[in-house]
Amino acid sequence: MARVLVTGSADGLGQMAARRLGELGHDVLLHARNQDRARDAARGAPGARGVLIGDLSSIAETRALAEQANAAGSFDAVIHNAAVGYRERRQETADGLEHVFAINVLAPYLLTALVPARRIVYLTSGMHRGGDADLSDLQWRRRRWSGAQAYADSKLLDVVLAFAIARRWPDARSNAVEPGWVATKMGGPGAPDDLSLAPETQVWLAVSDDPRAAETGELFYHQREQEPHPAARDVEVQEQLLSACERLTGVALGAGPAGTQPGAAPRAETIPWTDR
């Protein structure tokens, strides 16, 4: 039995993955952004251990969420599912950050640093191949806003993050998953791909004994490796993203999950906050 944390599990693919993990007999902890959504999560995956609450648009709430998670013990796997989509207008969070980047990229980075696990799964999208790897305007202060481009950029950076973690943490298994264009709230009712298959690859990567699920630094679609955007494997881009996330959160990545014991403090280093 594996212990798995699934972010964004109040509905959609996160809830489907959490429910599937429960059906397979695993110990699942859910996540929602507020109390109302926590009730949705608990109803949708009734066999789960419980629900953690934290708004991933907030650095402070994400740090508090990590504290809740670590208080519950260590995790064999974390599935970073929570995200906002491509129809969003530009908004700034309480931290003064563009919210698609804050939720889709910065929060997974911070949770990875503070809640290390041996298997880490980041949800991306086929739209990542249209993403821009130029990190000079992550907050969209100079560019004309495009929700679709902001989403594509964030999903590219999720793959970059997955590959960076795989390189930095050789004892972990860090991968990205394209679930397909499916009929969730984000995907819309006309999405053509098979919804029943959409949560299966992230569940497989999180808990399966299949040797193929022990790969690291790969992009998967329906349990098959896919070729990502070329920038995802660029070490310079990876290091630029990690450095930017360190500056924004005040948390360095640390040494990873090697030697982590249940209840142990996360192996990340808090660094001074800098100007955003």
Q: Which amino acid is at 106?
A: L
CA 229 to chain centre: 18
pLDDT at position 106, please? Answer: 98
Q: Fold for 3-270, please state it.
A: Rossmann fold (3.40.50)
Catalytic annotation, pick one of 109, 122, 151, 221: 151
76 vs 188, residue with greater confidence:
76
Reduced to 3 states (helix: H, G, I; strand: E, B; else coil), residue 165 is helix
- Reply yes or no on whether the pLDDT at 234 is more than 80: yes
Give, as one character, the DSSP assignment of residue 145: P
Long-range Cβ contact pairs of 53-59 (< 8 A, separation 24 or more): 56/7, 56/8, 56/82, 56/102, 56/103, 56/107, 57/93, 57/94, 57/99, 57/102, 57/103, 57/107, 58/93, 58/94, 58/95, 59/95, 59/102, 59/106, 59/110, 59/248, 59/249, 59/250
- Least confident among 2-16, 64-78, 134-148, 183-197: 183-197
Is residue 86 annotated as a catalytic residue, yes or no? no
CA atoms 22, 82, 50, 255: torsion sign: positive
- Least confident among 24-28, 85-89, 225-229, 236-240: 85-89
188 vs 254, residue with greater confidence:
254
Is residue 155 annotated as a catalytic residue, yes or no? yes
Q: Where are the domains of the chain?
A: 3-270
Catalytic annotation, pick one of 86, 109, 155, 185: 155
Q: What is the pTM of this model?
A: 0.91
- What is the Cα–Cα distance from 31 to 111, expressed in whole angstroms? 12
